[in-house]
Structure 1
Amino acid sequence: MLIDHWPLLGLRVRTSRLELRLPAEDELAELADVAAQGVHEPGRRPFLTPWTDLPPAERARETLRRHWSRRGTWTPQDWTLDLAVFVDGRPVGVQEMEARNFGILREVGTASWLGLGHQGQGIGREMRSAVLHLAFAGLGAHEATTSSFTDNAAPLRVSDKLGYRPDGIARDVLHGSAVVSQRLRLTRDRWELTDRPEVTLSGLAPCLREFGLDQPEQV
């Protein structure tokens, strides 16, 4: 079976209303439809990689390409986990977690997007809480990082509520103009003090080597 060769297919991260996991191909197609319907209000540019500027059909195709690329280039030393977020069995967005040399550094980065029709319901905070539980409780991470444009208030509020602290800024170019991102960092100690939903993990043990962890007792 495919899961015998790619155990990440069996990984499940659950809260009381969300399930985060790798999507099946038909679910990936549905996720692409969610992206095509919109991820943010017209005229806004919340992502440094401007994939949401594409027309709806191309935005859907880019969703597929990004997901397939991250599976195809995965190594235990350099990986990006592209988890689809499900509500009542239907995909509503993506929660990413990535790391380089995780077995040594024990640091992850996160990013996400959520379909426009599912925003404003607390899902964004809950799905990040879920993946942070996977990182800290499941994989034994020491720190987690993220970043948001300084004028993108919603994710900055989520990060603040989850215990992140400022970690400097980054300056980049987007569409010919300078943009400033606030870098943020969350330590394991601060994560343990935050108010967060109950999260359950299943199917993790067979995946540990894929994350660069040689033995379960390392977690």
Structure 2
Amino acid sequence: MSGIIGKKVGMTSIFGADGKNIPCTVIEAGPCVVTQVKTLEKDGYSAIQLAYDEKKEKNTSKQLLGHFKKANTSPKRKLVEFKHFEEEKALGEVISVDLFAEGDYVEVVGTSKGKGFQGVVKRHGFSGVGGQTHGQHNRLRAPGSLGASSWPSRVFKGMRMAGRMGGNRVKIQNLQVLKVFTEQNLLVISGSVPGAKGSYVILEK
């Protein structure tokens, strides 16, 4: 599956051909460098490794410096493998945003915004215990009863409760490429993309 590494710039909206206002996300996609070509004979599977975003040499380990030197490129921050790439790529080859065309549908993988420890109302959409009558003055956002009585005398695993929310790997499918700006390495994609501004995303065709 062909793809590229990018960085979320932010959201905006554009008007479509039918005059509707379409919310969309701007992504800086590439340029990415092929830093490793994995083969079935040598590695047990075929894939290519792409690298993106410049990094200072002083902040890079010697092992990675040697790895990037083989590809004749400067150190990069983000490395991602893509299996079943549509076209054969050589070591050191640059992949840019022109991999995509307007009208293509893509899948975007990113890490959702972390929201810390949250209660059941925000995390799972619970409605709370109820109104403020009958002494319920402090139970508006409480989870209520969780477990059964004599059997099983415990709370089942997987019960929706308060806990850490966000910060998960999320894939959004079937987002359409609305515009491609080759010179600026920018893609305008319909809909929202997981992650905060400036976070890394993976785009797959």
TM-score (norm 2): 0.24
Higher strand proportion (structure 1 or 2): 2
Q: Which has the higher contact order (CA 8 A, sep 6+)?
A: 2
**Higher helix fraction (1 or 2):** 1
Report the TM-score when normalising by structure 1.
Answer: 0.23
